[in-house]
């Protein structure tokens, strides 16, 4: 090879090496890190929310079979009609799966969702009838409220999103129920809460003649751990409301809060209201056989309706220490008696077996376990509180939110390159660049000597 030809080859090699080095230095780190970063974008600027969706299964007790024979706990969209007296069950014609912005959805056998049906209120996602209140089987329904509007500011940690609509939570197929209207999510750097206006009727399972409308009452439905409320998330967040470890000072006419692995409570203002409605015992630990089913389930908030990350498959079992909450004074007005006569053939009449004793177990009193003392038709297979405390935690199944498109933040993506990997790549690029420069200098020197 002649001298000039060799020099031309060296020049070409040096130029090529320089180009490769520059490209490697500039592009390789971003090529590895880019897909993962792009799959989970975050927000930093304030933004308006329109079409936000709130999803919540509330708790497993809301999706459970009730102790009174033939009755269940479930939800209905909208405000159910006033039956006019206590001790009645909701007829099929008065139940709704949709009402305005509110839907009730049921988990299916494949893990997806479908609009709820009347028949599905008493069955598992696989279609089996829930066998008993202590079976650990649930209907797995969620309330889904759309068209939420508000503002979110990730930089300051403030957000407010409001929804318009109502849903009703019915226990014992409607012998006692309350309504939730127009929930609002309020977030500050110190706290995150889901509030709403509660309504319903004052009732007493020991005296079913009591039935009196309650005034609309602002309540806190859920306290959310601030660390779980990611305002910078691209699509929304999932959070499990605090329950375990939360204290509530029960009034004298309610069961004292019990200890054990499931000691906890929903927010105090909510429980204060429910104490007048006659169903507070479903929302804090009372030592009963279904305490494991009372903790709050995860809820999700989607900024624009795009499904967010899958909620946890179980309610939190790690106690969260919070200050003892003192209830606000309960209304002093007592329910007035209502007519007790009813047509046994009516779809809204009480069951032939009086539920007076059985419901008392679910509202805070220890369940009856002596078969000889159990009324005919009532399930006596209720474990003791001691047996429940010794047993492992039962799963609190939560419906899965399935991603609707490949652009969702839940899309699979390669893991982002770590800082050390990126530094190594930059170092490699620098070495290649130095090699290219050295080759160029050598070729230039040879040419000069030539």
Q: Phi and psi of 109, rounded to 5°? A: -60, -30
| Angstrom distances, CA of residue 228 to CA of 87, 231, 270, 314, 395 | 41, 9, 22, 16, 21
Q: Closest Cα partner for 201 from 278, 95, 267, 270?
A: 278
DSSP of 50-105: EEEEEEE--BGGGGSB-SSTT-B-EEEESPPPP-SSSS----GGG--SEETTEEEE
In this predicted structure, what is the pLDDT of residue 208? 79
DSSP secondary structure string for all residues of 155-175:
TTTEEEEE---EEEEEEGGGT
Pairing outcome for strands 47-56 and 74-77:
unpaired
pLDDT of residue 427: 61
Residue with tokens 């990350």: 309
pLDDT tens sequence across 209-265: 889 999 999 999 999 999 999 999 999 999 999 999 999 999 999 999 999 999 999
pLDDT digits (tens, 9 = 90+) for 163-192: 999 999 999 999 999 999 999 999 999 999
**Contact, 137 vs 127, CB < 8 A?**
no
The number of angstroms, rounded, from the C-alpha of 144 to the middle of its chain's C-alpha atoms is 11
Which of 434, 439, 358 shows the shortest CA–CA distance to 25? Answer: 434
Going by C-beta distance under 8 Å and a sequence separation of 6 or more, which residues neighbour residue 383?
134, 289, 369, 391
pLDDT at 446: 52
Query: Which tokens hold the place of 2?
Result: 């002649």
Sort residue 127 into left (φ over 0), alpha (ψ -120 to 50) or beta: left
How many other C-beta atoms are found inside a 10 Å radius of the C-beta of residue 259? 11
Q: What is the pTM of this model?
A: 0.66
**Whole-angstrom distance between the N-terminal and C-terminal Cα of the chain?**
14
* Helix/strand/coil for 344: coil
Place of tokens 């004793």: 357
Place of tokens 């028949």: 119
The helix/strand/coil state of 114 is strand
* Cβ(397)–Cβ(313) below 8 Å: yes
At residue 52, the pLDDT reads 98
Tokens of 406: 């490949």
Give residue 426's region: left, alpha or beta (phi > 0; psi -120 to 50): alpha
At residue 228, the pLDDT reads 96
| Cα-trace Rg, the chain | 30
- Cα 128 from Cα 137, distance rounded (Å): 9
What sign results for the dihedral spanned by CA atoms 125, 131, 135, 139? positive
Quick one: angle between helices 3-39 and 419-449, nearest 10?
A: 170
Predicted pLDDT of residue 234: 93
SS3 string, 198-233, reads EEEEEECCCCCCEEEEEEEEEEEEEEECHHHCCCCE
Between CA 269 and CA 328 the distance in angstroms is 7
Element (DSSP H or E) covering residue 271:
helix 268-277
**Residue environment code for 352-361, b if the CB has 16+ CB neighbours within 10 A, otherwise e:** eebbbbbbbb
- The token duo for 319 is 């106690």
Q: What is the pLDDT of residue 156?
A: 97
- Could you list the beta-strand ranges (E) of 284-386: 299-302
Run of H or E including 179: strand 176-187
Q: Is 393 helix (H, G, I), strand (E, B) or coil?
A: coil
- Which parts of the chain register pLDDT below 50? 19, 22-23, 25-39, 312-317, 319-420
């Amino acid at each position: 090879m002649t001298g000039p030809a060799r020099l031309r080859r060296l020049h070409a090699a040096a130029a090529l090496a320089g180009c490769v080095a520059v490209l490697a230095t500039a592009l390789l780190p971003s090529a590895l890190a880019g897909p993962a970063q792009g799959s989970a974008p975050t927000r930093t600027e304030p933004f308006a929310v329109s079409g936000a969706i709130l999803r919540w299964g509330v708790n497993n007790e809301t999706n459970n079979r009730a102790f009174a024979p033939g009755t269940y706990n479930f939800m209905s969209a909208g405000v159910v009609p006033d039956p006019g007296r206590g001790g009645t069950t909701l007829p099929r014609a008065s139940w709704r799966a949709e009402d305005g912005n509110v839907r009730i959805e049921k988990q299916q056998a494949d893990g997806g969702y479908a609009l709820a049906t009347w028949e599905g209120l008493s069955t598992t996602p696989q279609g089996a009838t829930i066998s008993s209140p202590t079976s650990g089987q649930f209907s797995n329904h969620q309330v889904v409220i759309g068209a939420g509007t508000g503002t979110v500011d990730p930089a300051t940690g403030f957000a407010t999103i409001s929804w318009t609509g109502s849903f009703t939570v019915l226990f014992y197929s409607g012998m006692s129920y309350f309504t939730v209207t127009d929930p609002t999510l309020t977030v500050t750097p110190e706290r995150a809460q889901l509030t709403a206006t509660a309504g319903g009727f004052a009732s007493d399972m020991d005296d079913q003649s009591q039935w009196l409308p309650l005034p609309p009452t602002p309540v806190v439905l859920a306290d959310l751990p601030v660390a779980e409320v990611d305002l910078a998330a691209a699509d929304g967040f999932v959070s499990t409301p605090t329950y375990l470890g939360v204290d509530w000072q029960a009034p004298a006419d309610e069961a004292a809060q019990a200890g054990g692995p499931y000691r906890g409570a929903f927010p105090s203002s909510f429980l204060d209201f429910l104490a007048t409605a006659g169903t507070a015992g479903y929302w804090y630990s009372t030592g009963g056989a279904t305490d494991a089913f009372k903790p709050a389930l995860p809820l999700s908030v989607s900024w624009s309706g795009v499904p967010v990350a899958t909620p946890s498959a179980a309610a939190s079992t790690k106690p969260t220490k919070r200050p003892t909450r003192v209830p606000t004074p309960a209304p002093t007005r007592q329910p007035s008696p209502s007519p007790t006569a009813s047509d046994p053939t009516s779809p809204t009449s009480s069951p032939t077996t009086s539920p007076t004793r059985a419901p008392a177990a679910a509202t805070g009193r220890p369940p009856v376990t002596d078969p000889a003392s159990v009324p005919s038709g009532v399930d006596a297979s209720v474990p003791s509180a001691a047996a429940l405390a010794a047993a492992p935690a039962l799963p609190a199944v939560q419906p899965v939110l399935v991603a609707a498109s490949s652009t969702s933040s839940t899309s699979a993506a390669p893991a982002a390159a770590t800082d050390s990997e990126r530094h190594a790549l930059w170092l490699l690029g620098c070495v290649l660049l130095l090699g290219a420069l050295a080759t160029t200098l050598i070729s230039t020197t040879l040419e000069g000597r030539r």
